[in-house]
Structure 1
Protein backbone atom coordinates (compact mmCIF):
# COMPACT_ATOMS: atom_id res chain seq x y z
CA UNK A 1 0.00 0.00 0.00
CA UNK A 2 1.85 3.10 -1.24
CA UNK A 3 -0.33 6.09 -0.46
CA UNK A 4 0.02 9.17 -2.66
CA UNK A 5 -1.69 12.43 -1.78
CA UNK A 6 -3.11 15.00 -4.19
CA UNK A 7 -1.17 18.21 -4.75
CA UNK A 8 -3.60 20.53 -2.99
CA UNK A 9 -4.51 21.63 0.50
CA UNK A 10 -7.73 19.60 0.72
CA UNK A 11 -5.97 16.59 2.23
CA UNK A 12 -6.16 12.90 1.46
CA UNK A 13 -7.50 10.33 3.89
CA UNK A 14 -5.23 7.31 3.73
CA UNK A 15 -7.09 4.07 3.12
CA UNK A 16 -5.78 2.05 6.06
CA UNK A 17 -7.69 -0.19 8.49
CA UNK A 18 -7.55 0.62 12.21
CA UNK A 19 -6.26 4.13 11.48
CA UNK A 20 -7.35 7.72 10.96
CA UNK A 21 -4.62 9.45 8.95
CA UNK A 22 -5.02 12.47 6.66
CA UNK A 23 -2.18 13.91 4.59
CA UNK A 24 -2.00 17.52 3.36
CA UNK A 25 0.88 17.68 0.89
CA UNK A 26 1.09 21.45 0.39
CA UNK A 27 -0.37 22.75 3.63
CA UNK A 28 2.20 25.55 3.78
CA UNK A 29 3.26 27.38 0.63
CA UNK A 30 6.85 26.96 -0.64
CA UNK A 31 7.66 30.53 0.40
CA UNK A 32 6.21 30.04 3.89
CA UNK A 33 7.98 26.71 4.24
CA UNK A 34 11.36 28.16 3.27
CA UNK A 35 11.04 30.93 5.85
CA UNK A 36 9.72 28.66 8.60
CA UNK A 37 12.57 26.20 8.07
CA UNK A 38 15.12 29.03 8.23
CA UNK A 39 13.68 30.53 11.42
CA UNK A 40 13.20 27.21 13.21
CA UNK A 41 16.67 25.99 12.31
CA UNK A 42 18.13 29.17 13.80
CA UNK A 43 15.96 29.90 16.86
CA UNK A 44 15.09 26.48 18.30
CA UNK A 45 17.24 25.31 21.22
CA UNK A 46 18.31 22.02 19.66
CA UNK A 47 19.82 19.37 21.93
CA UNK A 48 21.78 16.20 21.28
CA UNK A 49 20.28 13.51 23.49
CA UNK A 50 21.76 10.09 24.14
CA UNK A 51 20.15 6.67 24.48
CA UNK A 52 21.31 3.40 25.96
CA UNK A 53 21.70 0.46 23.58
CA UNK A 54 22.88 -2.85 25.06
CA UNK A 55 24.55 -1.01 27.93
CA UNK A 56 26.31 1.50 25.69
CA UNK A 57 25.40 5.19 25.57
CA UNK A 58 25.12 6.50 22.00
CA UNK A 59 23.89 9.71 20.41
CA UNK A 60 20.29 9.81 19.25
CA UNK A 61 20.44 9.85 15.42
CA UNK A 62 18.87 13.33 15.19
CA UNK A 63 18.67 16.50 17.25
CA UNK A 64 15.55 17.20 19.29
CA UNK A 65 13.72 19.92 21.19
CA UNK A 66 10.60 20.02 23.35
CA UNK A 67 8.40 23.12 23.58
CA UNK A 68 5.01 23.64 25.17
CA UNK A 69 2.88 24.90 28.01
CA UNK A 70 4.60 25.16 31.37
CA UNK A 71 4.63 21.91 33.33
CA UNK A 72 3.99 19.61 30.36
CA UNK A 73 7.06 17.37 30.48
CA UNK A 74 7.55 14.36 28.22
CA UNK A 75 9.59 11.15 28.41
CA UNK A 76 10.56 8.62 25.74
CA UNK A 77 13.37 6.07 25.34
CA UNK A 78 14.69 6.93 28.80
CA UNK A 79 14.93 10.64 27.89
CA UNK A 80 13.08 13.20 30.01
CA UNK A 81 12.23 16.58 28.50
CA UNK A 82 11.04 19.74 30.23
CA UNK A 83 9.38 22.23 27.86
CA UNK A 84 10.93 25.37 26.52
CA UNK A 85 8.43 28.22 26.22
CA UNK A 86 6.56 28.61 22.93
CA UNK A 87 8.13 30.87 20.32
CA UNK A 88 5.98 33.11 18.07
CA UNK A 89 6.91 30.91 15.11
CA UNK A 90 5.80 27.71 16.82
CA UNK A 91 2.55 29.34 17.89
CA UNK A 92 1.93 30.42 14.30
CA UNK A 93 2.32 26.86 13.01
CA UNK A 94 0.28 25.46 15.91
CA UNK A 95 -2.65 27.78 15.29
CA UNK A 96 -2.70 26.93 11.59
CA UNK A 97 -2.98 23.19 12.07
CA UNK A 98 -5.34 23.39 15.04
CA UNK A 99 -8.05 24.69 12.69
CA UNK A 100 -7.82 21.44 10.73
CA UNK A 101 -7.14 19.08 13.63
CA UNK A 102 -9.92 20.60 15.75
CA UNK A 103 -7.57 20.00 18.67
CA UNK A 104 -5.79 22.45 20.95
CA UNK A 105 -2.22 21.19 21.21
CA UNK A 106 -0.20 22.02 24.32
CA UNK A 107 3.23 20.75 23.29
CA UNK A 108 5.45 19.90 20.34
CA UNK A 109 8.41 17.57 19.84
CA UNK A 110 10.81 18.83 17.19
CA UNK A 111 13.30 16.63 15.35
CA UNK A 112 16.15 17.88 13.19
CA UNK A 113 17.31 15.31 10.64
CA UNK A 114 20.64 16.69 9.48
CA UNK A 115 21.19 14.22 6.62
CA UNK A 116 20.47 10.64 5.59
CA UNK A 117 22.38 9.29 8.59
CA UNK A 118 19.65 10.64 10.86
CA UNK A 119 16.36 8.80 11.27
CA UNK A 120 13.97 7.26 13.76
CA UNK A 121 13.26 3.54 14.15
CA UNK A 122 9.91 1.76 14.38
CA UNK A 123 7.74 3.08 17.21
CA UNK A 124 4.28 4.29 18.19
CA UNK A 125 3.41 7.57 19.86
CA UNK A 126 1.64 5.78 22.69
CA UNK A 127 3.20 7.07 25.90
CA UNK A 128 0.68 7.17 28.76
CA UNK A 129 0.75 10.98 29.00
CA UNK A 130 -0.66 11.18 25.45
CA UNK A 131 -3.92 9.50 26.46
CA UNK A 132 -5.92 6.65 24.94
CA UNK A 133 -6.35 7.84 21.34
CA UNK A 134 -3.82 10.63 20.85
CA UNK A 135 -4.10 13.21 18.09
CA UNK A 136 -0.68 13.84 16.54
CA UNK A 137 -0.13 16.72 14.12
CA UNK A 138 3.10 16.24 12.16
CA UNK A 139 4.50 19.14 10.11
CA UNK A 140 7.59 18.86 7.90
CA UNK A 141 9.93 21.50 6.49
CA UNK A 142 13.06 20.86 4.42
CA UNK A 143 14.17 17.75 2.57
CA UNK A 144 11.53 15.13 1.77
CA UNK A 145 11.80 11.84 3.70
CA UNK A 146 10.02 8.49 3.58
CA UNK A 147 7.42 7.95 6.30
CA UNK A 148 6.80 4.22 6.59
CA UNK A 149 3.98 2.51 8.49
CA UNK A 150 3.36 -1.14 9.38
CA UNK A 151 0.46 -2.81 11.15
CA UNK A 152 1.37 -4.28 14.53
CA UNK A 153 -0.72 -7.45 14.08
CA UNK A 154 -0.83 -8.02 10.32
CA UNK A 155 2.63 -8.04 8.73
CA UNK A 156 1.13 -7.77 5.25
CA UNK A 157 -0.35 -4.34 5.96
CA UNK A 158 2.16 -1.59 5.16
CA UNK A 159 1.98 1.97 3.89
CA UNK A 160 4.36 4.73 2.88
CA UNK A 161 4.06 8.50 2.42
CA UNK A 162 6.69 10.98 1.25
CA UNK A 163 6.72 13.82 3.78
CA UNK A 164 7.41 16.85 1.63
CA UNK A 165 8.43 20.46 2.34
CA UNK A 166 5.44 22.18 3.95
CA UNK A 167 3.33 19.05 4.42
CA UNK A 168 1.02 18.21 7.32
CA UNK A 169 0.16 14.66 8.44
CA UNK A 170 -2.65 14.23 10.97
CA UNK A 171 -2.93 10.96 12.92
CA UNK A 172 -5.89 10.30 15.22
CA UNK A 173 -8.30 7.63 16.48
CA UNK A 174 -6.83 4.18 17.10
CA UNK A 175 -3.81 4.71 14.81
CA UNK A 176 -1.22 4.44 17.58
CA UNK A 177 -2.77 1.22 18.90
CA UNK A 178 -2.40 -0.64 15.61
CA UNK A 179 0.34 1.03 13.55
CA UNK A 180 4.04 1.67 14.01
CA UNK A 181 5.94 4.25 11.96
CA UNK A 182 9.52 5.18 11.16
CA UNK A 183 11.75 7.55 9.17
CA UNK A 184 14.45 5.20 7.85
CA UNK A 185 18.04 6.25 7.35
CA UNK A 186 19.17 6.49 3.73
CA UNK A 187 22.41 6.46 1.76
CA UNK A 188 20.87 8.93 -0.70
CA UNK A 189 21.78 12.59 -0.45
CA UNK A 190 18.92 14.35 1.33
CA UNK A 191 18.57 17.92 2.53
CA UNK A 192 18.16 18.70 6.24
CA UNK A 193 14.60 18.30 7.52
CA UNK A 194 12.76 19.72 10.51
CA UNK A 195 9.72 17.81 11.77
CA UNK A 196 7.28 19.13 14.36
CA UNK A 197 4.90 16.66 16.02
CA UNK A 198 2.27 18.55 17.97
CA UNK A 199 0.68 16.68 20.86
CA UNK A 200 -1.70 16.98 23.81
CA UNK A 201 -0.03 16.02 27.07
CA UNK A 202 -2.52 14.92 29.72
CA UNK A 203 -2.02 15.07 33.49
CA UNK A 204 -1.02 11.67 34.89
CA UNK A 205 -2.57 10.89 38.25
Structure 2
Protein backbone atom coordinates (compact mmCIF):
# COMPACT_ATOMS: atom_id res chain seq x y z
CA UNK A 1 0.00 0.00 0.00
CA UNK A 2 1.24 3.49 -0.85
CA UNK A 3 2.09 5.67 2.13
CA UNK A 4 2.22 9.43 1.69
CA UNK A 5 5.29 11.29 2.85
CA UNK A 6 4.85 13.35 6.01
CA UNK A 7 6.90 16.04 4.28
CA UNK A 8 4.67 16.26 1.23
CA UNK A 9 3.38 19.77 0.57
CA UNK A 10 -0.18 19.93 -0.71
CA UNK A 11 -0.54 23.71 -0.90
CA UNK A 12 -0.63 23.60 -4.70
CA UNK A 13 2.54 25.65 -5.19
CA UNK A 14 4.74 24.91 -8.18
CA UNK A 15 8.05 23.08 -8.42
CA UNK A 16 11.03 24.23 -6.35
CA UNK A 17 13.75 26.24 -8.13
CA UNK A 18 15.94 23.94 -10.19
CA UNK A 19 18.95 26.09 -9.41
CA UNK A 20 19.28 24.10 -6.17
CA UNK A 21 19.72 20.77 -8.00
CA UNK A 22 22.98 18.94 -7.22
CA UNK A 23 24.99 18.15 -10.34
CA UNK A 24 27.33 15.15 -10.39
CA UNK A 25 29.83 14.84 -13.22
CA UNK A 26 30.17 11.25 -14.40
CA UNK A 27 32.70 9.62 -16.72
CA UNK A 28 32.63 9.96 -20.51
CA UNK A 29 30.89 13.34 -20.55
CA UNK A 30 27.75 12.25 -18.68
CA UNK A 31 26.17 14.03 -15.72
CA UNK A 32 23.14 13.91 -13.44
CA UNK A 33 21.20 16.62 -11.61
CA UNK A 34 19.31 15.41 -8.52
CA UNK A 35 16.78 17.42 -6.53
CA UNK A 36 14.92 15.59 -3.73
CA UNK A 37 11.36 16.73 -3.09
CA UNK A 38 11.34 18.93 -6.18
CA UNK A 39 7.57 18.86 -6.72
CA UNK A 40 5.29 19.93 -3.84
CA UNK A 41 2.03 18.01 -3.61
CA UNK A 42 3.66 14.96 -5.19
CA UNK A 43 1.77 12.39 -3.13
CA UNK A 44 -1.57 13.91 -4.11
CA UNK A 45 -0.36 13.91 -7.72
CA UNK A 46 0.49 10.21 -7.41
CA UNK A 47 -3.09 9.43 -6.37
CA UNK A 48 -4.52 11.46 -9.24
CA UNK A 49 -2.26 9.82 -11.85
CA UNK A 50 -2.99 6.38 -10.47
CA UNK A 51 -6.69 6.78 -11.24
CA UNK A 52 -6.73 9.14 -14.25
CA UNK A 53 -4.00 7.74 -16.52
CA UNK A 54 -5.11 5.01 -19.00
CA UNK A 55 -2.46 2.53 -17.89
CA UNK A 56 -1.78 -0.36 -20.24
CA UNK A 57 0.09 -3.64 -19.96
CA UNK A 58 2.46 -4.62 -22.77
CA UNK A 59 4.07 -7.82 -23.97
CA UNK A 60 7.40 -7.93 -25.77
CA UNK A 61 9.57 -10.46 -27.55
CA UNK A 62 12.44 -11.61 -25.34
CA UNK A 63 14.76 -14.01 -27.11
CA UNK A 64 12.47 -16.86 -28.29
CA UNK A 65 9.32 -16.02 -26.35
CA UNK A 66 6.85 -13.23 -25.58
CA UNK A 67 6.83 -11.97 -22.00
CA UNK A 68 4.85 -9.46 -19.95
CA UNK A 69 6.54 -6.08 -19.44
CA UNK A 70 6.94 -5.90 -15.63
CA UNK A 71 5.28 -2.50 -15.19
CA UNK A 72 2.31 -0.57 -16.60
CA UNK A 73 2.84 2.14 -19.19
CA UNK A 74 1.38 5.29 -20.72
CA UNK A 75 2.85 7.64 -23.31
CA UNK A 76 2.01 11.24 -24.19
CA UNK A 77 3.41 12.26 -27.56
CA UNK A 78 4.27 15.78 -28.64
CA UNK A 79 1.06 17.79 -28.71
CA UNK A 80 -0.90 15.41 -26.46
CA UNK A 81 -2.60 16.88 -23.41
CA UNK A 82 -0.81 15.75 -20.26
CA UNK A 83 -2.97 13.96 -17.68
CA UNK A 84 -2.55 16.52 -14.89
CA UNK A 85 -1.83 20.28 -14.71
CA UNK A 86 1.02 19.59 -12.27
CA UNK A 87 2.88 17.84 -15.09
CA UNK A 88 2.39 20.92 -17.30
CA UNK A 89 3.95 22.99 -14.52
CA UNK A 90 6.82 20.53 -14.15
CA UNK A 91 7.53 20.51 -17.88
CA UNK A 92 7.42 24.31 -18.05
CA UNK A 93 9.91 24.57 -15.18
CA UNK A 94 12.24 22.05 -16.83
CA UNK A 95 12.01 23.84 -20.17
CA UNK A 96 12.76 27.20 -18.57
CA UNK A 97 15.77 25.94 -16.60
CA UNK A 98 17.39 23.71 -19.21
CA UNK A 99 16.47 25.63 -22.40
CA UNK A 100 19.92 27.10 -23.01
CA UNK A 101 21.84 23.93 -22.15
CA UNK A 102 19.55 21.52 -24.01
CA UNK A 103 18.83 23.86 -26.89
CA UNK A 104 15.22 22.71 -27.22
CA UNK A 105 12.17 21.98 -25.04
CA UNK A 106 11.10 18.65 -23.64
CA UNK A 107 8.41 17.29 -25.96
CA UNK A 108 7.07 13.95 -24.69
CA UNK A 109 6.17 12.31 -21.40
CA UNK A 110 6.39 8.58 -20.77
CA UNK A 111 4.83 7.23 -17.57
CA UNK A 112 5.63 3.95 -15.82
CA UNK A 113 3.68 2.46 -12.91
CA UNK A 114 5.71 0.11 -10.72
CA UNK A 115 2.97 -1.66 -8.76
CA UNK A 116 5.20 -3.43 -6.23
CA UNK A 117 8.71 -4.83 -5.84
CA UNK A 118 8.16 -7.35 -8.63
CA UNK A 119 7.89 -4.59 -11.23
CA UNK A 120 11.17 -3.39 -12.70
CA UNK A 121 13.07 -2.17 -15.73
CA UNK A 122 16.30 -3.80 -16.90
CA UNK A 123 19.62 -2.05 -17.57
CA UNK A 124 19.26 0.24 -20.60
CA UNK A 125 19.87 3.67 -22.05
CA UNK A 126 17.29 5.73 -23.95
CA UNK A 127 19.05 5.12 -27.26
CA UNK A 128 16.13 4.83 -29.66
CA UNK A 129 16.48 7.83 -31.96
CA UNK A 130 18.90 10.69 -31.36
CA UNK A 131 19.94 9.43 -27.93
CA UNK A 132 22.11 6.82 -29.67
CA UNK A 133 24.35 9.39 -31.33
CA UNK A 134 23.85 12.79 -29.66
CA UNK A 135 24.07 14.28 -26.18
CA UNK A 136 20.59 14.83 -24.80
CA UNK A 137 18.62 14.99 -21.55
CA UNK A 138 16.01 12.80 -19.91
CA UNK A 139 14.28 14.23 -16.83
CA UNK A 140 12.57 11.74 -14.49
CA UNK A 141 10.05 12.85 -11.87
CA UNK A 142 9.20 10.16 -9.29
CA UNK A 143 6.02 10.14 -7.22
CA UNK A 144 4.82 7.50 -4.80
CA UNK A 145 6.92 5.09 -2.75
CA UNK A 146 10.68 5.47 -3.31
CA UNK A 147 12.45 2.84 -5.41
CA UNK A 148 16.12 2.45 -6.25
CA UNK A 149 17.29 3.83 -9.58
CA UNK A 150 20.73 2.45 -10.44
CA UNK A 151 23.29 3.94 -12.82
CA UNK A 152 26.47 2.30 -14.15
CA UNK A 153 28.83 2.83 -17.09
CA UNK A 154 28.03 0.80 -20.20
CA UNK A 155 30.03 -2.39 -20.10
CA UNK A 156 30.06 -2.47 -16.30
CA UNK A 157 31.63 -0.53 -13.47
CA UNK A 158 30.77 1.05 -10.14
CA UNK A 159 27.01 1.34 -9.60
CA UNK A 160 25.45 4.57 -8.32
CA UNK A 161 22.16 4.26 -6.43
CA UNK A 162 19.44 6.88 -5.97
CA UNK A 163 16.27 6.33 -3.93
CA UNK A 164 13.58 8.24 -5.79
CA UNK A 165 9.96 8.96 -4.85
CA UNK A 166 7.73 11.62 -3.23
CA UNK A 167 8.43 14.26 -5.89
CA UNK A 168 12.17 13.65 -6.38
CA UNK A 169 13.77 14.64 -9.69
CA UNK A 170 16.76 13.25 -11.55
CA UNK A 171 17.95 14.66 -14.88
CA UNK A 172 20.41 12.58 -16.90
CA UNK A 173 22.35 14.69 -19.35
CA UNK A 174 25.37 14.91 -21.61
CA UNK A 175 26.34 11.50 -22.98
CA UNK A 176 24.48 9.66 -20.21
CA UNK A 177 22.11 7.73 -22.50
CA UNK A 178 24.97 6.56 -24.73
CA UNK A 179 27.72 5.87 -22.22
CA UNK A 180 25.78 4.88 -19.09
CA UNK A 181 22.85 2.58 -18.31
CA UNK A 182 20.10 2.87 -15.71
CA UNK A 183 17.68 0.36 -14.16
CA UNK A 184 14.96 -0.10 -11.56
CA UNK A 185 15.72 -3.54 -10.08
CA UNK A 186 13.21 -5.92 -8.57
CA UNK A 187 13.23 -6.06 -4.78
CA UNK A 188 12.10 -8.66 -2.24
CA UNK A 189 11.46 -5.91 0.31
CA UNK A 190 7.92 -4.66 0.76
CA UNK A 191 7.55 -1.89 -1.81
CA UNK A 192 4.52 0.25 -2.44
CA UNK A 193 3.62 1.63 -5.88
CA UNK A 194 5.68 4.29 -7.64
CA UNK A 195 5.06 6.29 -10.81
CA UNK A 196 7.90 7.74 -12.86
CA UNK A 197 7.36 10.46 -15.44
CA UNK A 198 10.09 10.70 -18.08
CA UNK A 199 10.25 13.99 -19.97
CA UNK A 200 12.25 13.72 -23.22
CA UNK A 201 13.09 15.95 -26.20
CA UNK A 202 11.81 15.18 -29.68
CA UNK A 203 13.26 12.02 -31.22
CA UNK A 204 14.54 10.45 -27.99
CA UNK A 205 13.03 7.24 -26.54
TM-score interval w.r.t. the shorter chain?
0.7 to 0.9
1:134 is aligned to: 136
Counterpart Cα distance in 1 of 2:68 and 2:74? 14
Instruction: From 12, 23, 35, give the equivalent of 1:24.
Output: 35
| Pair 1:87-2:83 in alignment | yes
Counterpart Cα distance in 1 of 2:130 and 2:160? 27
1:75 is aligned to: none
1:3 is aligned to: none
Alignment of 1:42-57 (within 5 A): 42-57=51-66
| Pair 1:147-2:157 in alignment | no
Counterpart Cα distance in 2 of 1:160 and 1:107? 26
2:10 is aligned to: none
2:78 is aligned to: 69
Counterpart Cα distance in 1 of 2:56 and 2:130? 22
Structure 2 unaligned runs (5+)? Answer: 1-15
- 8 Å CA contact retained: 2:165, 2:194: no
Q: CA deviation at 1:159?
A: 1.2
Q: CA deviation at 1:95?
A: 1.5
Partner of 1:14, secondary structure, is strand
- Residues 69-93 of structure 1, C-alpha deviations (whole Å, 9 max, x = no match): 24xxxxxxxxxxxxx5433433232
Q: Which runs of 4 or more aligned residues in structure 1 lie more than 6 Å from their structure 2 counterparts after TM superposition?
A: none
- 8 Å CA contact retained: 2:49, 2:83: no
- Residues 145-202 of structure 1, C-alpha deviations (whole Å, 9 max, x = no match): 111111114x333211111310111111111121011000001111100000101123
1:34 is aligned to: 43
Q: CA deviation at 1:98?
A: 2.3
- Residues 24-83 of structure 1, C-alpha deviations (whole Å, 9 max, x = no match): 011012xx101211111111111101111232222100000000224xxxxxxxxxxxxx
Structure 1 unaligned runs (5+)? Answer: 1-7, 71-83
Q: CA deviation at 1:121?
A: 0.3
Counterpart Cα distance in 2 of 1:44 and 1:129? 27
Distance 1:25 1:112, change over 3 A: same
